[in-house]
Structure 1
């Protein structure tokens, strides 16, 4: 992601040697994103991704790294954190926590068709089921509590009609969160950020196969329905308008339900959860846009995109296919 922390070739080479990854041949900063410092790390033995964590702490990170190992052991295609001779997977660079994972094959599909959505929906359900017995617990750190804290910080930067929308939607979501139906939603580890650029596909055009989910550093324990809603709001929309493409959305949900059927409460709350997922990313993009951190390759996302998505979900609620 954006480079906040400069890592020297010497530091990267030393870490690669400690992890028995071979001799460093190349180190390149990754420009996309805004949360952590990421580099492509190449050695004479393979390709890796080096991440230096800018916000997550040494205490928080075992949840994410061990979750990836847990899922990989259950044949969910995710990056595998690399351990040193003592089995340690959380390292230190420049006084900050760091990890190295294998680089997934393929590339992101930024213009998905229904068959891409079907593959992601099916694997998302498998991932949820595979995480049921994951023993560590950490809440979604960008959940409702964070929204409540962050909205007052971004409100002064907004136009009056935007402030009204943001405050009204937060009130609505707080009300939904208090309902028995919301409390009854199935829960477990969720990715919480499974956008198009966090999934890899490989193969010839029109025949691409999903090769992995990555960037689990917003993961936490939350409603599985929230994870599904995040995906629908990215994989199954027209990016220029935020409108839901119902054919892609139906394909995504049907493939998900082929692995895990949605409950009655999930179907009832899907329209509200689609709004919640849009709200979450509108807030975070407003925060990143108006209160940015310094970085040598910082590219904050446009917050108005998820404002459009939220307005669409309010005006045109979607109830799924079941």
Structure 2
């Protein structure tokens, strides 16, 4: 959500007109995130203001994007509180701005809860389970592009930037995850479209009620357990120490299982997938730190955070 590509007021206004979303009155770049260019957009139609988010995709291609956009629309049509991409008169939801693929979605109300309680975690768990079940009949397929094959490709690239102890950890954990992925228990895990990035800053609440889930641009088909583990690794840890918060985790897991009970294979592999989730984001943050892109607004994430989480998950496995 950095600004890599500057969009003029006139260019944004023309796109909003094509989408029949009203007359543009305000355009503001969004700080935070590292993948795409995002702007808050306000329009006026029939005397009433409306808020949207304009996204220009900096890495994802026009061939990859229909999966993400149509998944959001599919979930929105199933009653999930997710962004709903706007279509032009031809029904297209993927557009072009500054020569780059772009989309406009409704801006969800609410704010992020960066210090979540067990109640917030329960709402997240239940919503994640609903998303998994609602996406079962989604027709399109795309693998998780930041899954195991990408880890295997990227670790050798970031390895020269690591200390001896960091290199040992990342290599041993990668070997372990390849071993897990070859197991029969892993093959038995239920799968489908997953969010794969359901962090605290990608969920909105209003007066304690979950009102929005957004940023689906890491979504792909993977195990539902991996998606749950990524979620637990952010919502249910102490941010400073990376340690497990048992009360929040119990609340999130119970709420998830009340909607979609976990299988025996999922219960067996939860510790391994918690480690996998930590490894995935440690690798990607190392990648972004050591091979950065220029941006007009850019706020990078600290890779050492998920190094701490991975070490904690390895030393203190969480079992069900």
Q: TM-score, normalised by structure 1?
A: 0.98
| Paired position in structure 2 for 1:165 | 169
Distance in structure 1 (CA, Å) of the matches to 2:97 and 2:77: 27
Distance in structure 2 (CA, Å) of the matches to 1:300 and 1:133: 36
Deviations 1:169-218 (A, max 9, x none): 00000000000100110000000000000001012xxxx10001100000
| Paired position in structure 2 for 1:318 | 318
Quote how far apart the aligned CAs of 1:309 are. Answer: 0.1
The answer to whether structure 1 residue 80 and structure 2 residue 84 are counterparts is yes
| Paired position in structure 2 for 1:286 | 286
Distance in structure 2 (CA, Å) of the matches to 1:169 and 1:175: 10
Q: Following superposition of structure 1 onto structure 2, how do residues 244-259 of structure 1 map, counting pairs within 5 Å?
A: 244-259=244-259
Report the number of matched residues: 316
Quote how far apart the aligned CAs of 1:264 are. Answer: 0.2
| Paired position in structure 2 for 1:120 | 124
Q: Following superposition of structure 1 onto structure 2, how do residues 36-75 of structure 1 map, counting pairs within 5 Å?
A: 36-45=36-45, 46-75=50-79
The one of 93, 96, 99 aligned to 2:97: 93
| Paired position in structure 2 for 1:180 | 184
SS of residue paired to 2:296: coil
Quote how far apart the aligned CAs of 1:299 are. Answer: 1.1
Quote how far apart the aligned CAs of 1:298 are. Answer: 1.1
| Paired position in structure 2 for 1:268 | 268
Deviations 1:214-238 (A, max 9, x none): 0000000000000000000000000
Distance in structure 2 (CA, Å) of the matches to 1:107 and 1:239: 19
Distance in structure 2 (CA, Å) of the matches to 1:152 and 1:87: 43
SS of residue paired to 2:109: coil
Q: Which runs of 5+ in 2 are unaligned?
A: none
Q: Following superposition of structure 1 onto structure 2, how do residues 237-248 of structure 1 map, counting pairs within 5 Å?
A: 237-248=237-248
Q: Following superposition of structure 1 onto structure 2, how do residues 127-142 of structure 1 map, counting pairs within 5 Å?
A: 127-142=131-146
Distance in structure 1 (CA, Å) of the matches to 2:241 and 2:185: 31
Q: Following superposition of structure 1 onto structure 2, how do residues 17-36 of structure 1 map, counting pairs within 5 Å?
A: 17-36=17-36
Distance in structure 2 (CA, Å) of the matches to 1:20 and 1:10: 15
Distance in structure 2 (CA, Å) of the matches to 1:153 and 1:287: 8
Aligned Cα root-mean-square deviation (Å): 0.5
The answer to whether structure 1 residue 156 and structure 2 residue 160 are counterparts is yes
| Paired position in structure 2 for 1:215 | 215
The answer to whether structure 1 residue 8 and structure 2 residue 12 are counterparts is no
Distance in structure 2 (CA, Å) of the matches to 1:319 and 1:55: 37
SS of residue paired to 1:275: helix
SS of residue paired to 2:136: coil
Quote how far apart the aligned CAs of 1:129 are. Answer: 0.2
Distance in structure 2 (CA, Å) of the matches to 1:111 and 1:11: 38
Quote how far apart the aligned CAs of 1:296 are. Answer: 0.9
Deviations 1:5-61 (A, max 9, x none): 111101100000000111111000000100000000111140000000001000000
| Paired position in structure 2 for 1:198 | 202
The one of 104, 107, 111 aligned to 2:111: 107
Distance in structure 2 (CA, Å) of the matches to 1:148 and 1:10: 44
SS of residue paired to 1:132: helix
| Paired position in structure 1 for 2:226 | 226
Distance in structure 2 (CA, Å) of the matches to 1:95 and 1:148: 32
